Amino acid sequence: MSASTTATGPGGATGPTGDVGPSPAAARPRRSRRGAAEARAGLLLALPFVLLFAVFTAWPVLQSMFMSFTDMRISDIRTPFAVDFVGLENYRAAFADPVFRRAAMNTGVFVLLGVPLTIIAGLAAAVALNHGVGRLRSVFRIGFYSPVITSIVAVAVVWRFLLQPETGLVNTVLSWVGIDGPHWLGDQRTALLSLVVMAVWRNFGTSMIIFLAGLQAVDPGLHEAAALDGAGRWRRFVSITLPSIRPTMLFVLVTTSIGYLQFFEEPFVMTSGGPLNATVSASMYTYNQFGFGNYGVAGAMAYLTFLVIGIVTLVQFRLMREK
Amino acid sequence: MLERRSPVLTYIVLTVFLLLVITPFVWMILGSLKTQGELLQVPPTWLPDAPTLDNFRRLFDRPFGRFFTNSALVAVAVTAGNLLLSSMFGYALAHLRFPFKKLLFVLVLGCLMIPGLVTFIPQYVLVVNLGLADTLPALILPFLVQPFSVFLMRQFFLGLPRELLEAGRIDGVGEIAIFFRIYLPLAGPAFATLGILTFLGSWNNFLWPLVVSSSESTYTLPVALALISTGQNETDYGLLLAGATLIVLPILVVFLFFQRHFIQGIASTGIK
Amino acid sequence: MSPTARPTRRTVTGLGAAAALGLLAACGRPDDDTGGEAAASAEPIGEGAATGSLTVWAMGAEGEKLPELLKGFQEQNPDVTVEVTPVPWDSAHDKFTSAIAAGTAPDVAQVGSTWMAEFVGLDALEPTPEEIATDDYFAGALESVTVDETVYGVPWYVETRVVFYRTDLAEQAGITEPPTDWEGLVELAQAYQSQADATWGISLQPGGTGSWQTVMPLIWSGGGNVVDEAGEAFTFESAQNEEALSYYQSYFTDGIANPAPADGTTEQDFVSGAVPMFISGPWMMSAVEAVGGEGFADKYGVFTMPTKETSSSFLGGANLGVFQGTENRDAAWKLVQYLSTPEVQVQWFAQSTDLPSLQQGWEDDAVASNEKFEVFREQLDTALAPPVVATWEQVAASFDAQIEEVCKNDLAPADALAATQSEAQGIGTGA
């Protein structure tokens, strides 16, 4: 038996009612007591999580949502209710802000390029480690994961060196084949792309280990059967492996997209949003607004980002035919 | 098992990639042995000209044992809490029917999509009002449950067959017991992954511990490191890299631990 | 904006602080526990030694070394317990604003010089009592703690920016005396390029975060300013400002400064001679000497910012503030008072190399003996703090973006200033 490929909600329960001793599975479903026991168990299992979540996450979220509809500034933090309600004014102002629009566009490009690349790299690494490498697997695993845990300071120094226009490694190598490399981080046309590459390098390790976990659940029996039938490696990958890890794929897709839609560290550390706003991200701009104390406006920008993330996630769920 | 075509080629390709990928990490470790003057050189040097342990010595001028304990306690608590509570809820979301199920999932997932910045101050004010300011529980409780965790566990449990559930019911096992005795033991791979990710997130968390602590006794490692290495106008890179190197070591240990103990072979998943 | 019923005390004095200074100096006595006449806006400090407990926040290196410095205070006031919490500079501002929001601010804290106006606007800081004399502070430093003609806290230590230059390469280029005016600086930079093999004559930031700290001094030096005397309105558009910005732009258009510099190479370029001049503060001395190695200290010098009408520079550093809501007000101010005496400031310099904010502190040999510090001393007389306006960070960011357009896209300075002016007006002064 293989893992279910498409996940739908839990189906109805068939079988005996109640928790009494075994009896043959009945054809007709008897839901009432089963359903009640199930519901009880479900709520019980959910309770600790939901409780903590409600107090420490949901409530602050509601407060901040309220904040985004007011003209709250940092001077109001002691008296958060003595602010003016301004409705959608902050949201309108965010749309009207050319820098925010630029930031939104940069974020969009970043996501469209970065997410697929990261997923492909992570999946490739996971598959390679799972099937192609026997010993030394741990070494490779840690090695490929190391960018995720390396201090951003070290990352910044090394990448700045790589991308330096005159003495940088990339341009030096390019010059060997006669190409005059651009000023990667200083040229408006290449800065964002450089950050995409850096981000993919930094994050593919996380996708990799998640895929590794998902791949563990794939039944090798299926592969053996298909191989016996003459299916090649690629064919098997596409027809067996990929469908088997669909829930994992959805997870990686959604969480990577969410992460990249909020990308902050790369432009913050490497370019401060420059040159000339070529790399400013929505998150970074929102962070700046918080820094300036414009809490109402910053809140609106954050929730606009949230809306976009929500829509993107919804689309992804639909695409993968999940509920 | 699956046939492997030219394993040597695979190894070579992987090794080349590995070397490329691992460079900044190695540079970080080498950098912790260099002087400030050398670290400011451009292009950056690789091996230290005059290796020195001075950075590490200066690190231990401060009570690092305290900071380490704080970080460790918090990270372990957060990780353990997440693994347990998220697997419970994730399982329920994947295989059980109960009221408000869809609503709860949407709400929780929704909060995953909200940029953390925006809830920061309300969360801090809440913690202060609960009387938890400057305590370790304040560093733990808000992170004990995370949307990311429950989402991951839900997806993972969805990937496990329902037949186990049916079989359990036929055998008369209680719903909760089905979870603890049948599904939970199968969660190894997911635990490995979630464990590492949660631990990493907690271990490297900087801004929250910074704001919540108002005395040095509750500082965690990232806060302490920023304290000694970032100045108003300049940064002590040697100290920073030495600290970063030390801070990364427990993560490596946890990574190895989880990968070794939780990734089981296919044969032992118990799926018939 | 929000119609809360708080009285606004947030208009700003620019150079008018000097006048206010005179008034303040007339009342109160320095270092006297018995307190003088009651201040209009601050109660006097109580008599006798300090008691109770105090929480103090200090950042970075200051946070580490402060307990040592406070031993003297402890001896004078044996009944008080002082707890110093060191706070990292990284994200310190966030920590403060969160604490203010939640009511968990300390009694006394080191406050970044650009945060004062903002914190005063949050009603977070107490005004300085009369007993603490403020006449000996550098004018610019005192300005940075003065909001709406009231002094909040005191300046603790200062820093300012001067021009670093390679003396050996300058000699090679035939220049033996540092330049004193705008034209002279350009000449020296060009001489470096033509006769000393320098790639660029001077390292200047072509816009982007913090570039205003280099441009504003030029504006000030030309007699311009970006806020009016009362600090109530922005005045970006003016002939002097335009002249200063054009002068800055000329470095890039004339090929003297790099319009696309790589990050983090200043020290290296200075030592190698590729870019033998830059403008920065005292901390860069140890940085370039670390890269340059032994004997490098003899190969470079510093000189004050070039003069147009005056020689002006950016004044930074940090201040000490007492937070409203402190439960031990007397002890808090006594602590501040202690740290504000010249002797203790000199002692602090010995420990931390932070430059004293009191002019008297500079008379001590320990400070006065360093030749290069002499230049900083001279610059401090005319250094100015950025406008003490609650919204300055945001306005400055806007200005930075316009400066970037000027340096990289050849935007006309007049247009850039006009754009900044309209954005600044939109942002307001936070009053």
Q: Which of residues 72-101 of B touch C (CB under 8 A)?
A: none
Residue C60 lies in a domain: yes
A chain contacts of residue B244, beta-carbon cutoff 8 Å:
150-151, 153-154
Domain of residue C373: give its range: 42-160+315-382
Q: Which of residues 247-286 of C touch A (CB under 8 A)?
A: 260-264
H-helix or E-strand containing C266?
Answer: helix C266-272
Which pLDDT value is given to residue A117?
A: 96
For chain B, the structural domain boundaries read 63-269
B chain contacts of residue C112, beta-carbon cutoff 8 Å:
232
| Triad B18, B21, B22: Cα angle to 5° | 85
CA quadruple B247, B253, B259, B261: dihedral positive or negative? negative
Residue of C nearest to B229 (CA): C60
Cβ C59 vs Cβ B230: under 8 Å: no
Direct distance between the N- and C-terminal alpha carbons of chain C, in angstroms, rounded to an integer: 9
Residue of C nearest to B134 (CA): C104
* Distance, C-alpha C200 to centroid of its chain: 28
User: How many Cβ atoms from other residues are within 10 Å of residue A306's Cβ?
Assistant: 23
Per-position DSSP letters for B165-183, written without gaps between them: HHHHHHTT--HHHIIIIII
Per-residue pLDDT, averaged over C96-117, amounts to 89
Residue C192 lies in a domain: yes
Residue B72 has pLDDT above 60, yes or no: yes
Confidence of residue A322 (pLDDT cuts 50, 70, 90): low
C chain contacts of residue A293, beta-carbon cutoff 8 Å:
97, 118, 390-391
pLDDT tens-digit readout, B171-204: 888 888 888 888 888 888 888 889 989 999 999 9
Q: Which of C85, C112, C291 sits opposite B215 (nearest CB)?
A: C85
A chain contacts of residue C404, beta-carbon cutoff 8 Å:
274-276
Residue of A nearest to B44 (CA): A161
* Token representation of residue A78: 């002691």
Residue of A nearest to B237 (CA): A153
Note the ipTM here. Answer: 0.82
Confidence of residue B6 (pLDDT cuts 50, 70, 90): low
B40 touching A (Cβ < 8 Å):
no
| Phi, psi dihedrals of residue C87, rounded to the nearest 5° | -125, 135
Choose the CATH number for B63-269 among 3.30.360.10, 2.40.30.10, 1.10.287.610, 1.10.3720.10.
Answer: 1.10.3720.10
**Are residues C248 and C346 both part of a single domain?**
no
Which pLDDT value is given to residue A15?
A: 30
Per-residue pLDDT, averaged over C388-393, amounts to 89
Q: Chain A: give the shortest CA distance to residue B138, in Å.
A: 10
Residue C37 lies in a domain: no
Out of B10-19, B174-183, B208-217, C405-414, give the one with best mean pLDDT. C405-414
CB distance B4–A131 less than 8 Å?
yes
Q: Which of residues 82-101 of A touch B (CB under 8 A)?
A: none
CA dihedral C225, C126, C318, A294 (to 10 degrees): -60
Cβ C311 vs Cβ C318: under 8 Å: no
pLDDT tens-digit readout, C335-364: 999 999 888 988 888 888 888 899 888 888
Q: Which of C103, C208, C408 sits opposite A272 (nearest CB)?
A: C208
Confidence of residue A78 (pLDDT cuts 50, 70, 90): low
Cβ-based contacts under 8 A for chains A and B = 317
Residue C319 lies in a domain: yes
CA dihedral C322, C325, C330, C331 (to 10 degrees): -70
Residue of higher predicted confidence among B95 and A231: B95
CB distance C86–B120 less than 8 Å?
no
**Are residues C374 and C308 both part of a single domain?**
no
CB distance B207–C287 less than 8 Å?
no
Contacts of A77 (CB under 8 A, 6+ apart): A295, B121, C97, C100, C101, C122
pLDDT tens-digit readout, A92-121: 988 899 999 999 999 999 999 999 999 999
Q: Chain B: give the shortest CA distance to residue A189, in Å.
A: 24
Residue of B nearest to A165 (CA): B43
CA dihedral A284, A286, A287, A288 (to 10 degrees): 90
Per-position DSSP letters for C314-375, written without gaps between them: BEEEEEEEEBTT-S-HHHHHHHHHHHTSHHHHHHHHHHH-PEESBGGGGGSHHHHT-HHHHH
Residue C26 lies in a domain: no
A chain contacts of residue B17, beta-carbon cutoff 8 Å:
144
Query: What are the residues of chain C with a beta carbon less than 8 Å away from any beta carbon of chain B?
Result: 55, 57, 59-61, 63-64, 83, 85-91, 94-95, 97-99, 101-104, 106, 112, 159, 262, 264-265, 267-269, 281, 283-284, 287, 290-293, 316, 318
C-alpha separations of A105 from A68, C49, C398 in Å:
22, 61, 20
* Token representation of residue B165: 């559930």
Confidence of residue A29 (pLDDT cuts 50, 70, 90): low
Per-position DSSP letters for B130-151, written without gaps between them: TT-TTSHHHHHGGGSS-HHHHH
CB distance C85–B227 less than 8 Å?
no
Residue C261 lies in a domain: yes
Q: Chain B: give the shortest CA distance to residue C290, in Å.
A: 4
Which pLDDT value is given to residue B259?
A: 74
Distance in angstroms (rounded) separating the CA atoms of residues C231 and C387 = 7
Cβ B99 vs Cβ B134: under 8 Å: no
Q: Which of A55, A142, A157 sits opposite B255 (nearest CB)?
A: A142
pTM for this predicted structure? 0.83
Query: What's the number of domains chain C is made of?
Result: 2
Helices (H), chain A: 32-53, 59-68, 89-96, 98-127, 137-149, 152-163, 169-176, 188-216, 220-228, 233-236, 242-244, 246-261, 265-270, 282-292, 295-319
Domain A97-319 in CATH 1.10.3720.10: yes
- In whole angstroms, how large is the CA radius of gyration of chain C? 22
Per-position DSSP letters for A216-243, written without gaps between them: HTS-HHHHHHHHHTT--HHHHIIIIIHH
Residue C44 has pLDDT above 80, yes or no: no
Which pLDDT value is given to residue A119?
A: 96
CB distance A53–B7 less than 8 Å?
no
Residue C235 lies in a domain: yes
Contacts of A224 (CB under 8 A, 6+ apart): B2
* Token representation of residue B234: 């300049």
Q: Which of A78, A83, A183 sits opposite C260 (nearest CB)?
A: A183
Strands C355-356 and C154-160: antiparallel
* Token representation of residue A159: 């990448």
Confidence of residue B261 (pLDDT cuts 50, 70, 90): low
**Are residues C271 and C398 both part of a single domain?**
yes
Distance in angstroms (rounded) separating the CA atoms of residues A302 and A125 = 34
* Token representation of residue C333: 């101010």
* Token representation of residue B29: 């470790």
* Token representation of residue C305: 């910012």
A chain contacts of residue B142, beta-carbon cutoff 8 Å:
56-57
Where residue C126 sits, what CATH number does that domain have?
A: 3.40.190.10
Is omega for the bond preceding A29 within 30 degrees of 0, making it cis? no
Residue of C nearest to A162 (CA): C262
Confidence of residue C127 (pLDDT cuts 50, 70, 90): very high
Which pLDDT value is given to residue C26?
A: 32
For chain A, the structural domain boundaries read 97-319
User: How many Cβ atoms from other residues are within 10 Å of residue B113's Cβ?
Assistant: 21
Strand order in the sheet with C80-87: C80-87, C52-59, C108-112, C315-322, C154-160, C355-356
Residue C218 lies in a domain: yes
CB distance B160–A3 less than 8 Å?
yes
Q: Chain A: give the shortest CA distance to residue B8, in Å.
A: 10
Q: Which of residues 201-230 of A touch B (CB under 8 A)?
A: 201, 206, 209-210, 212-214, 216-220, 223-224, 227
B chain contacts of residue C292, beta-carbon cutoff 8 Å:
37
Residue A18 DSSP class: S
